[in-house]
Amino acid sequence: MNRILRTATIAIALLAAAPLAASAENVRMPVLVPITGILALEGTSQRNGAVMALDEKPGGVEAGYDVTDTAASPETAVNALERALAQPNVVAVAASIFGPQMLAMMPIAAERKVPLVTISGTAKITEMGNAYVFRFFPTDAVVKVAQARYVVEELKKTRVALVYQTTAYGQSGQAHLMDNFKRLGAQIVFEEGLAPAVKDMAPVLAKLKAANPDVIVLQLHSGPTALFVKQAAASAANLPIVAGSAMHQPSTAALLEPAELKGVCAESGSSPISGGSPAMEKFTAAYRAKFNAEPDAFAVAQYDGTRMVLDAIGKGARSASKVRDALATGSYEGLAMTYKSDGTGNMAHDAVIVCYNGSSRVPTIVKRYAAR
């Protein structure tokens, strides 16, 4: 009675959202991701991946959802989570890629015992002993190892110039890269943080060249990565670039001419447009048809994570705690890799390095790294 009253009240007060009428039997998996603001690009991929899985209703398994924007602040994310949890039968939440938003939502998820399925790379979120966070994208602790190892072991480069973004994504990756390069015996000859609004990369390129590195390692968001690569190509720096995951995104490559991309590599969890398996190719085709956009690894990872939740629901896990248990103990064969928790909620343990050959905007997977 109380619950019905409460639901009715919300319905009247919010004047919103038709999906609220969902019957009590239907389980729900709300999608809380940043679709506006600075992380809108990655958040939109995340939304698309989750929505794709949920709309597919694999094996007839259905979970109701609505998409709520978490914008750019932890506060908005917490509001979105409280709003989602005010509805009945929430068994899991597809949660933001933005680290500080995850850190703010996690204590609430633990208190209310609802698992968060995310692709945030911030290492810290699985280091806090929170049993309700599940990450389907390889953490910085995995991909940054791959990025550093590729530079040192495959490219045989030892004088690294590191350029990172002064954002959660950039600073978190920068710390891991520094550690890894030190461990691998490479020298950081140049290092600088850039605000996301920076337009002209010439000053940083000038200083970087003066430090005489033999490789450039980037940890920048999509737009700045493209700006950097474009201006580096124009300034005839002729240095190999091993970028962060932003460079694998088709929307980043779309900003550049294929020739500008020659010799540019990136780390990622996967690269759907590079193909590799019939299932992945089918996914890519379906994604293009549904969203009129190119899928990236974020979309795939959130798709895989959402599918694992749906898989668990299909196997009878119709409550949040059962879904959590299934995620914590089970294993799932996804498009990008096989996911299994390492005990702290890290589900993805493989990373890939993709490279562009200079004649196409579709990269090739050149190296796979498995953490274990």
Partner 1 sequence: MSVTSAPSQPAFRAAHAPWIAGAALLALYAAFMGDLYGLRLLTQAGVYALLVIGYQFVFGHAGAFSLAQGAFFGLGAYVTGILGTKFGWGFLATFPLSVLLPAAFALLIAAPVLRLETHYFALATLGLAQVALIGAVNWESLTGGANGLVGVPRVTLFGARLVTGWPLLLFVWSLVAVGGLLAWRLTRGMKGLAYHTLRERPLAAASVGLDGGMLRATAFVLSAAYGGAAGALHATTLGVLSPEVFDFSIMVACLTMAVVGGRGRIAGAILGAVLLVHLPEWLRGLEQYYLIAYGAALLLVVILAPDGLAGIVDRFWRRGRGRSETLPFIPASTRGAHVGGAALHVENLAKSFGGVAALDGVNLRVAPGEIVGLIGPNGSGKSTLANLITGLYRPDRGRIRLDTTPIETLRPHEIARLGVRRTFQTAELIAGASLIDNIAVAYAATANPSLPHARSRALTVLAEAGLTSRAWEEAAAQPAGVRRLAEVARATVRGPRLLVLDEPSAGLTEDERTTLVRLLRNLASKGAAVLVIDHNVPFLSGLARRLVCLEAGRVIAEGTPGAVLADEAVRRAYLGTAEKKP
Partner 2 sequence: MDALTLVQLLLNAAALGAAYALVALGFVLVINATGAVNFAHGDLVMSGGFLSVALAGALPVPGIVLLPLVAALMAILGLALSAAAYLPLRSRPPVAVFISTIAVGVMLQNSANAIFGAAPRGGPPLAGDGALSLGGLTLDRQSAAMIAAAVVLLAATQILLTHTQIGKRMRATAQDPEMARALGVRTGRMIALTFALAAALAGAAGLLLGNRYFVTPAEGGSLMLKAYIAVVIGGWGRIGGAVIGALLIALFESVVAAFLSQPIAEAVLYAVLLIVLFVRPGGILGEVEGRRA
For partner 1, the binding residue among 100, 138, 244, 295 (CB under 8 A) is 100
Q: Decide: is 227 part of the binding site for partner 2 (CB under 8 A).
A: yes
Provide the terminal-to-terminal Cα distance of the chain, rounded to the nearest Å. Answer: 51
For partner 2, the binding residue among 4, 202, 279, 285 (CB under 8 A) is 202
What is the closest distance, in whole angstroms, from the C-beta atom of residue 39 to partner 2 in the complex? 8
Pick from 284, 247, 255: nearest CA to 363: 247
- Scanning 9-17, 204-212, 234-242, 277-285 for contacts with partner 1 by CB under 8 A, the matching segment is 9-17
What is the closest distance, in whole angstroms, from the C-beta atom of residue 41 to partner 2 in the complex? 4
Helices (H), the chain: 2-14, 40-56, 74-85, 99-112, 140-149, 168-184, 202-210, 222-234, 250-253, 278-291, 297-314, 320-329
- Per-residue CA distances from 277 to 48, 247, 274, 280 (Å): 20, 22, 9, 5
Per-residue H/E/C for 186-241:
CEEEEEEEECCCCCCCHHHHHHHHHCCCCEEEEECCHHHHHHHHHHHHHCCCCCCE
Pick from 270, 277, 324: nearest CA to 299: 270
Instruction: Report the DSSP beta bridge partners of residue 33.
Output: 69
DSSP label at residue 88: T
The partner in contact with residue 43, picked from partner 1, partner 2, none with C-beta cut-offs of 5 to 8 angstroms by kind, is partner 2
Q: Decide: is 9 part of the binding site for partner 1 (CB under 8 A).
A: yes
**Which amino acid is it at 276?**
G
Binding to partner 2 in span 148-187, by CB under 8 A: 166
Q: Of the two residues 91 and 220, which places its CB atom closer to partner 2 in the complex? A: 220
What is the closest distance, in whole angstroms, from the C-beta atom of residue 263 to partner 2 in the complex? 19
Specify whether the CB–CB gap between 332 and 342 falls below 8 A: no
The partner in contact with residue 199, picked from partner 2, partner 1, none with C-beta cut-offs of 5 to 8 angstroms by kind, is partner 2
The partner in contact with residue 198, picked from partner 1, partner 2, none with C-beta cut-offs of 5 to 8 angstroms by kind, is partner 2
DSSP label at residue 153: I
DSSP label at residue 27: -
**C-alpha span between 318 and 212 (Å, rounded):** 58
What is the closest distance, in whole angstroms, from the C-beta atom of residue 280 to partner 1 in the complex? 27
What is the closest distance, in whole angstroms, from the C-beta atom of residue 224 to partner 2 in the complex? 9
- Scanning 223-231, 261-269, 275-283, 308-316 for contacts with partner 2 by CB under 8 A, the matching segment is 223-231
Torsion angles phi and psi, residue 319, rounded to 5: -135, 160
Q: Decide: is 193 part of the binding site for partner 1 (CB under 8 A).
A: yes
Binding mask 29-68 for partner 1 (x = CB under 8 A): ------xx-----------------------------xxx
Number of residues that bind partner 2 (CB under 8 A): 33
The partner in contact with residue 139, picked from partner 2, partner 1, none with C-beta cut-offs of 5 to 8 angstroms by kind, is none
- Scanning 107-115, 144-152, 277-285, 320-328 for contacts with partner 1 by CB under 8 A, the matching segment is 107-115
**C-alpha span between 276 and 195 (Å, rounded):** 36
Q: Of the two residues 6 and 113, which places its CB atom closer to partner 1 in the complex? A: 6
Specify whether the CB–CB gap between 244 and 267 falls below 8 A: yes
Q: Decide: is 128 part of the binding site for partner 1 (CB under 8 A).
A: yes
Binding to partner 1 in span 65-84, by CB under 8 A: 66-69, 72-75, 78-80, 82-83
Torsion angles phi and psi, residue 225, rounded to 5: -60, -45
**Which tokens is 130 given?**
């929170």
Binding to partner 2 in span 33-62, by CB under 8 A: 35-38, 40-41, 43-44
Q: Which residues of the shown chain bind partner 2 in the complex (CB under 8 A)?
A: 35-38, 40-41, 43-44, 166, 192-195, 197-200, 202-204, 206-207, 210, 222-223, 226-227, 234-235, 251, 254-255, 293
Q: Which residues of the shown chain bind partner 1 in the complex (CB under 8 A)?
A: 6, 9-10, 13-18, 35-36, 66-69, 72-75, 78-80, 82-83, 85-86, 99-100, 103-104, 107-108, 111, 122, 124, 128, 166-172, 193, 195
